[in-house]
Chains A and B, each alone.
Chain A
Amino acid sequence: MISFKSIPNRTVLARIFYGVAVAFICYRWVNHMLLSQLVNPVLTYVNTDATYIALSYLGIPQLLTHHHSIALVFDLCFFAAALGAFLFPNRQYLPVLFTVLLGIYEVTGYTYLCFHKHNLTGMWICSLMFCVVDPRGFTPMFYLTRYYTLFVYGSAGFWKFFRGIWNLPGHFPVILKTDAMTYMVEHSSGLRYDVIAWLIVHPGLLDEVMILTCFFQISFLIGFFTRKLDWFFFLYAISFHLLAYFLVYASFFEFSVILITLLPLSFLYERSVRA
C-alpha cells in the first residue's frame, strides 16, 4: 500500500496504457473490427448523439468505411500512434494523435455497429490524461481520471437505485435470460450452459446478486474521499467484468484499462519532493 505522497509516474503508466492499447488494436485486427475490415457497411445509427451526427454529416465515417485505402491508412496510423506512444511516452504529439484517432475510430465503428457502446470511451478518457506530458500537469489529470472512473461505476449503481430496478424481483433473471439466449439456444451442454441454466432456475439468487452489485457499485463514490478502498474497487470492477463476460458476453475489458488509476502499486508512483 502506498504510504507516501503519491505522484503518479507518467512514464510507467503510459507504457502500461499504450501497451494495452497496442494489444487491443491487434486483438481487434485479428477479429476483423478495424475500419478497413468492415468494408462498405450499409446501415448507420447516430441516435440523438450530437457527436455522431456531426461526424456523419461531415462524411467521415462514410469516407473511412467506403474507401479501403483510406481506411487502411487510418488503421495503420492508429496502430502507429499507439505503438509510438508506447515507445516514446514523453512525445506529446503521439498521445494527442492517438486520442483523436481513437475518438474517430470509436464513433465510426459504433455508427456502423448500430449500437453506441461505451467500451472504448473509458480508453479514450484515459488517453486524454496522457496528452499532458509535463509531470506537474499530469498529476491533477491522473487524479481527475481517477475521479471519473469512480463516477462511472458509482453512477452505474446510482441509476439502478434511481430507476428502481435494484430490488425489482425477477428483473436480473430476465436480463440474463435475454442476453444469454443466443448462447443457450446454440449450446446444450458445458460448464457455462449449466451455470446459466442453474442460475435461471434460482432467480432469488440473481435478485440478491443484483442488490449486492448495486451497493458495491454505488460504494465507488466513497473513493472521492479516500484512497484506502482502491484495492477493493479495482478487484470488484475486474470481477464484475469477468462475470459479465462469462454470463452474457458483455465485454468491458477495453474500458477497464481506466482502472490503472485505481491500482495503488508503489511502482506506479514516485515519491514527491515534500515526502
Chain B
Amino acid sequence: MAVVIFIALQLYYTIQFARVSLYVDHDKPLPHPIAFEAFPFVVYNMYSGKITDWHNYNYYRFEADGVPVSVTGIHFFESEQLINPLDKYLAYEPDSFNQEPLHSYLLYTLGTGDNTQQIYDKVSNHGTANCHDQYGRWLIWYLSRMQGKTIHAVKIFSCHYQYSGSGKPEKINENLVFEYHDQL
C-alpha cells in the first residue's frame, strides 16, 4: 500500500511539473501557483529547462579585506554554500525579502486566513530582521573560516562576461552588489 501511495504521489508531481513546463516553455502565465515537487517526490529534469538569456554570463567576485577570494579554490560544497544564498539575497533584497511565489502558493493552498500569513512569516525570509547585517555577519564568519584568518570586511561584485572567439571569457563590466564591514 505504501508503495502504491509513493508511486501515485511521484506520478502526481511528475504531471504537475509537466503542466508547469507547458506554461513556462510557451511563455504563458500560470493560472495559479503549482507545486511540482515535495521531497522525496522530486523531479529529475537535469538541465532540461530552456535558458532564455543566451548572453548573460555572470561571475561573482569576492573580496575579503580587499584581497580577492578564489571561489574555485575551495571545495565545491563550500563554493555552493557561498554562491547560492548570495543569489537568493540579491533576488529578494530589492523587494524587502518578500517571496511572492511562496506567498501566492500559500494563499492559494491554505486560503487567506491569519494562519497563512503566520506560516509565511515563519518559513520565508520576509520576517528576518536586519537581514543585511545578519547575512553580512554570517558571510564574514564563513569567509574567515575559509581563509583561515579573521576577516573584517567583504565586498561582492557582480561581473558580466562574454566569451571570445577562442572560448575565453572577457569582462564587460562589474558592479558592487554587496558590502559589509564588521562593526566590532
Contact = CB atoms under 8 A, between A and B. Distances in A.
A is bound by B: yes
Interface string A124-167: 11000000000000000000100000011101100110111100
Nearest to A51: B39
A118 interface: yes
Given A121-B40, A184-B168, A42 B131 contact: yes
Nearest to A112: B85
B173 interface: no
B59 A115 contact: no
Contact of B21 (A40, A151, A163): A163
B138 A249 contact: no
A44 B125 contact: yes
A96 interface: no
A53 B160 CA distance: 34
Given A171-B51, A175-B51, A183 B72 contact: yes
A226 interface: no
Contact of B119 (A57, A106, A187): A57
A164 B25 CA distance: 9
Residue of A45, A47, A184 with highest tally of chain B CB at under 10 A: A45
Interface string A30-65: 011100001111111111111111001101000000
Interface in B1-55: 3, 10, 14, 17-18, 21, 25, 33-40, 42-51, 54
B178 interface: no
Interface size class of B (residues with CB under 8 A): 35 or more
Contacts of B85: 41-43, 112-114
A200 B51 contact: no
Contact of B48 (A107, A124, A162, A187): A162
Contacts of A242: none
Contacts of B36: 48
Given A159-B45, A159-B46, A182 B51 contact: no
Contacts of B21: 159, 162-163
Interface in A95-127: 103, 106-107, 112-116, 118, 121, 124-125
Interface string A161-179: 0111100101100110110
Contact of A182 (B72, B87, B145): B72
A42 B50 contact: no
Contacts of B102: 46-48, 53
Interface of B: 3, 10, 14, 17-18, 21, 25, 33-40, 42-51, 54, 57-60, 70-73, 75-81, 83-85, 87-89, 92, 101-102, 105-106, 119, 122-125, 128, 131, 134-135, 138, 141, 145, 159, 161, 163, 165-169
